[in-house]
Amino acid sequence: MPAFAPDELETIRSLWIGSLPALPADPSNRVADDPDAAALGEAIFFDRRFSANGQVSCSSCHQPELAFTDGLARGQGIGETPRSTMTVLGSAYSPWLFWDGRKDSLWAQALGPLENADEHGGSRGMYAHRMGEHYRAEYEAVFGPLPDLADEDRFPATAGPVRDPIASANWQAMSPSDRDAITTVYVNLGKAIAAFERGLTPGPSRLDLFVEALLAADESGDAGAAAALTADELAGLRLFIGPVAGCTNCHSGPLLTNQSFHNTGVAPMPGREPDLGRGAGIGLVQADEFNCLSRWSDADPGDCVALRFVRDDAEALAGAFKPPSLRNVAETGPYMHAGQVATLIDVLRHYRAAPQAAAGRSELEPLDLTDVQLAQLEAFLRSLSDLPIDP
């Protein structure tokens, strides 16, 4: 196996799962690291009763066996969503959640689909009742007493600032302090789910076995490295870290994403307006009811560095999206923000062709890569899947 140059070794090491730092603290969530909150969050994550029709749970779209995605172009809850389901694995490391970064914490993200009419279709008043019906003891052990939900005049079965006219009217009719009591339960629900999700991180892949063998740098290390990646996968790795393809410009670090926003000229769905992505997401996160600076956050304003210094140039960020982690990418298709690109080889052809963007300006330049090289890159990408855990 030909040697790597020192700078190539440094890059390869930076992609290694062993380079993943400790889970960052989430000062906005006071129960982020509470195991009881995580247990409650895990139960709710898989509980279909937390939806308007009793059929949608977080796991409906975030399926563990598909790396917490759903194998669809766009998410399907009560209805179809306009964007593709993203993985939850490693999401604790993302300062911004969703393709457009419109949420700045895991708990704020979890609250989005719950009140979205196309996803869970519920309202926070409804979820407070569900909590009381199914998880009262677990909730109260972590968060203290629930409000007295038995009074249906004060706390109707459905109520929230949502699209459904009945729930919306009920919400308007509630007193401000009762609304706060319900929102408190809702926020706690999100924080419990987030505590569970923080523990969802990708596992080692064959790339990581390869890097560990490489770092061993001895006789047995060489044989281990050769066994971990095939010749095509190794060729793909060299291309991935190399200057021609430029993949690590955005797909860098142990999660193979730099967590910021880039325009790669992905075409909108036919017949649809171009998606502005981060261009619109900036305003959404700044205005979000549950952002780091909101009264529902447990953070001091000084902790909210990402939000306080958010780049708010909507024009420059028009059509820009967050690069997902490439770990388990073989399992997370179809690809791009609305699942427009069906297969990995289609993705690679897109990067080679570098088409113009429909919104904003693409950062891509056409790439001088042969079909064989694209196939090698695909082989490398497939080596990023979690290894099966021995039973």
Q: Which is nearer to other proteins, 22 or 137 (CB)?
A: 22
Q: Which is nearer to other proteins, 77 or 254 (CB)?
A: 254
CA 305 remoteness from chain centre: 20
- Which of the residues 194 through 253 are near other proteins (CB under 8 A)? 248-250, 252-253
Q: Which is nearer to other proteins, 180 or 300 (CB)?
A: 300
In the complex, the smallest distance separating the C-beta of residue 176 from other proteins, rounded to whole angstroms, is: 34
Cα–Cα distance between 57 and 50 in angstroms, integer?
6
**Which distant-in-sequence residues (6+ apart) come within 8 Å of 39 by Cβ?**
138, 196
Of residues 124, 262, 327, 350, which one binds other proteins by CB under 8 A?
262
In the complex, the smallest distance separating the C-beta of residue 372 from other proteins, rounded to whole angstroms, is: 27
Which of 334, 353, 354 lies closest to 344, judged by CA? 334
Q: Which is nearer to other proteins, 117 or 316 (CB)?
A: 316
In the complex, the smallest distance separating the C-beta of residue 124 from other proteins, rounded to whole angstroms, is: 32
CA 84 remoteness from chain centre: 11
Q: Would you tell me how many other CB atoms lie within 10 Å of the CB of residue 199?
A: 13
Of residues 260, 298, 330, 354, which one binds other proteins by CB under 8 A?
260
Residue with tokens 């909150």: 37
SS3 label, residue 173: helix
In the complex, the smallest distance separating the C-beta of residue 185 from other proteins, rounded to whole angstroms, is: 32
> How many residues sit in the footprint of other proteins (CB under 8 A)?
21
- Which of the residues 320 through 379 are near other proteins (CB under 8 A)? 361, 363
The distance between the two most distant Cα atoms of the chain, rounded to a whole number of Å, is 75
Q: What is the dihedral of CA 273, 275, 276, 282, to 10 degrees?
A: 130
In the complex, the smallest distance separating the C-beta of residue 311 from other proteins, rounded to whole angstroms, is: 5
In the complex, the smallest distance separating the C-beta of residue 259 from other proteins, rounded to whole angstroms, is: 7
Q: How many CA atoms lie within 13 A of 48 on its CB side?
A: 8
In the complex, the smallest distance separating the C-beta of residue 266 from other proteins, rounded to whole angstroms, is: 16
In the complex, the smallest distance separating the C-beta of residue 317 from other proteins, rounded to whole angstroms, is: 9
**Which distant-in-sequence residues (6+ apart) come within 8 Å of 244 by Cβ?**
367, 368, 369
Q: Which is nearer to other proteins, 90 or 334 (CB)?
A: 90
AA letter at 257: T
Cα–Cα distance between 136 and 153 in angstroms, integer?
21
The answer to whether 153 and 202 are in contact (CB under 8 A) is no
Of residues 99, 127, 261, 321, which one binds other proteins by CB under 8 A?
261
**Which distant-in-sequence residues (6+ apart) come within 8 Å of 165 by Cβ?**
none
Q: Which is nearer to other proteins, 167 or 282 (CB)?
A: 282
Q: Which is nearer to other proteins, 55 or 249 (CB)?
A: 249
Sketch the per residue contact string, 291 through 320, with other proteins: x for CB under 8 A, - otherwise.
--------------xx-xxxxxx--x----
| Under rule CB under 8 A, residue 134 binds other proteins | no
Q: Which residues bind other proteins (CB under 8 A)?
A: 248-250, 252-253, 258-262, 305-306, 308-313, 316, 361, 363
